[in-house]
């Protein structure tokens, strides 16, 4: 049957009549069934049907509806087939979207006059997205290999640029996830985000860095040092060299857009900017970095900025939805509270604003550093939550070059590699001595060295305990 484009009262009446003829069909339409979309004469009838189903968990009969709603009489048709029901589902979906969009436009007039563009965009977006539930999920047994290959190809595991961190995450971050780096004031949150941006841009990806705190020029100058290995204090001494190195890096790199947005901006502001950027520049955004989450406000004006738990819950959920909507890799930062300043181990209680961010985020990492670590050029990443791996509690040490502001794997550091080699050698010596200390076990040294060490240590422990008991 041809899809209808005339949504007069008669066709609306037909929708209700066909729905009353089949409970299954009504259930499929129930998610988008809004009495406000119907003609004024039909709204009481639609409202009655909706309320009756919610109260009694069953459809009212034609007789019940007509007895309660005398203004318009319904006549349930007989002899309907699958084609009729298929037509209803398709046509009613279009009707519902059309009417909701029409109403959203009318309701937006006052908002536009007030300059409140965020709520307008929300209303329009919600109306456009109205539709029947067609995603039925995954048929687990149908195609295991195809399912896994799809996950591998489309989930978008992307390297962070730090191999040691990637290993703990089983490959890196995934598109559509909300990833948070949390740190105290001065811990280097912005530097971490800027380094991630550099890593991804140099790998040919398109990156957007939104700063809600620092100016665009300051962020860009930090990136200058990271891109060129020229210390920030020397940037202005040789501008020609800086320009040459930046342009050379840019020939092989993807895009890196740095944009300042005022604090108190919301996710709708971010979405609008990204859309404008894509339209004007014509390139697809792969990665979004926001510095930082705590400075954003929720879209809903009803949420008080003083209620940090609720505010951060809304903002976190909105950001995660945005990442999924755009299918991009998204990383932001958050503040650790004062109780975390002197702590060596981070947990959920150290996140500023409460646990709501952690509950929503896919991965949360604490940035730990001390004065001694900074002097040695070291930073430590602690996993507070990982959704895609079992790495909660793991720690990754990274090198920080104070001159170039670059964060790198310690695996690339010669001094660290030498230290690891020496440490390993010392451990092997200690292990060898432990094995040799029990002559009774010489015959089994080659076969079970690990067991020998354990047995020796166990024997010594038992002797110590026995000695303590005798003294007591």
pLDDT score for 60: 93
Rounded to 5°, the CA angle 53-55-57 comes to: 50
pLDDT at 189 over 50: yes
The residue ranking higher by pLDDT, 250 or 433, is: 250
pLDDT score for 103: 87
Q: What are phi and psi of 245, to 5 degrees?
A: -70, -40
| Single pTM value for the model | 0.58
pLDDT at 40 over 80: yes
Six-digit token pair at 189? 């949150």
Q: Which helix (H) or strand (E) holds 64?
A: helix 62-68
**Secondary structure string (H, E, C) spanning 109-132:** HHHHHCCCHHHHHHHHHHHHCCCC
Contacts of 409 (CB under 8 A, 6+ apart): 162, 163, 164, 398, 399
Percent of the chain predicted with pLDDT > 70: 73
Q: Supply the angle between the helices 308-326 and 267-281 in degrees, to the nearest 10.
A: 20
Q: Supply the angle between the helices 449-471 and 414-436 in degrees, to the nearest 10.
A: 70
Q: Which residues pair with 368 in a beta bridge?
A: 380
Q: What is the mean pLDDT of residues 80-100?
A: 90
Q: Which residue has the tokens 């695996």?
A: 411
Instruction: Kindly report which listed range (188-192, 278-282, 347-351) carries the lowest average pLDDT score.
Output: 347-351
Q: What is the mean pLDDT of residues 199-207?
A: 88
Q: How confident is the model at residue 453 (pLDDT cuts 50, 70, 90)?
A: very low
pLDDT score for 37: 92
Average pLDDT, the chain: 77
Of 151, 147, 184, whose CA–CA distance to 170 is shortest?
A: 151
| Dihedral angle over CA of 436, 439, 441, 445, nearest 10 | 30
Cα separation, 250 vs 244, whole angstroms:
10
- DSSP single-letter state for residue 389: S
Instruction: Kindly report which listed range (149-163, 355-369, 449-463) carries the lowest average pLDDT score.
Output: 449-463
pLDDT score for 133: 65
pLDDT tens-digit map of 217-238: 888 888 888 888 888 888 888 8
């Amino acid at each position: 049957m041809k899809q209808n484009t005339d949504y007069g009262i008669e066709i609306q009446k037909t929708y209700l009549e066909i729905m009353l003829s089949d409970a299954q069909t009504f259930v499929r339409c129930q998610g988008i069934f809004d009495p406000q979309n119907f003609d004024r004469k039909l709204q009481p009838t639609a409202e009655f049907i909706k309320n009756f189903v919610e109260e009694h968990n069953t459809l009212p009969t034609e007789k019940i509806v007509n007895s309660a709603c005398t203004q318009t009489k319904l006549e349930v048709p007989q002899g309907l087939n699958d084609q009729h029901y298929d037509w209803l589902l398709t046509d009613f979906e279009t009707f519902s979207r059309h009417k909701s969009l029409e109403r959203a436009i009318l309701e937006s007039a006052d908002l536009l006059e007030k300059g409140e563009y965020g709520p307008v965009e929300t209303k329009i977006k919600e109306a456009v997205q109205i539709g029947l539930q067609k995603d039925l999920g995954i048929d687990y047994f149908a195609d295991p290999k195809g399912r896994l290959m799809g996950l591998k190809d489309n989930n978008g595991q992307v390297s962070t640029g730090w191999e040691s961190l990637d290993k703990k995450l089983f490959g890196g971050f995934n598109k559509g996830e909300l990833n948070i780096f949390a740190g105290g004031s001065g811990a280097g949150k912005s530097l971490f985000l800027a380094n991630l941006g550099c890593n991804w841009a140099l790998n040919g990806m398109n990156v957007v860095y939104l700063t809600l705190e620092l100016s665009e020029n300051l962020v860009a100058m930090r990136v200058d040092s990271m891109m060129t290995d020229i210390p920030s204090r020397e940037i202005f001494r040789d501008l020609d060299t800086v320009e040459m190195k930046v342009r050379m890096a840019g020939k092989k790199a993807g895009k890196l857009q740095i944009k300042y947005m005022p604090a108190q901006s919301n996710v709708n502001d971010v979405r609008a900017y990204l859309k404008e950027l894509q339209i004007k520049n014509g390139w697809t955004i792969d990665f979004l970095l926001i510095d930082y989450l705590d400075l954003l406000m929720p879209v809903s004006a009803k949420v008080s900025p003083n209620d940090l738990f609720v505010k951060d819950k809304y903002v976190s959920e909105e950001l995660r939805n945005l990442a999924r909507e755009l299918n991009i890799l998204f990383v932001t930062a958050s503040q650790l509270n004062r109780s975390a300043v002197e702590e060596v181990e981070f947990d959920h209680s150290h996140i500023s604003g409460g646990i709501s961010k952690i509950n929503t985020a896919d991965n949360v990492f604490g940035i730990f550093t001390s004065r001694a670590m900074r002097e040695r050029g070291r930073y430590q990443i602690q996993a507070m939550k990982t959704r895609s791996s079992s790495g909660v509690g793991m720690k990754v040490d990274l090198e920080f070059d104070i001159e170039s502001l670059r964060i790198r794997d310690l695996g690339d550091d010669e001094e660290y590699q030498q230290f690891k080699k020496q440490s390993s050698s010392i451990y092997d010596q200690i292990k060898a001595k432990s094995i040799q200390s029990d002559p009774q076990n010489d015959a089994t040294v080659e076969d079970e060295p690990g067991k020998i060490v354990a047995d020796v240590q166990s024997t010594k422990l038992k002797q110590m305990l026995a000695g303590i008991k005798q003294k007591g």
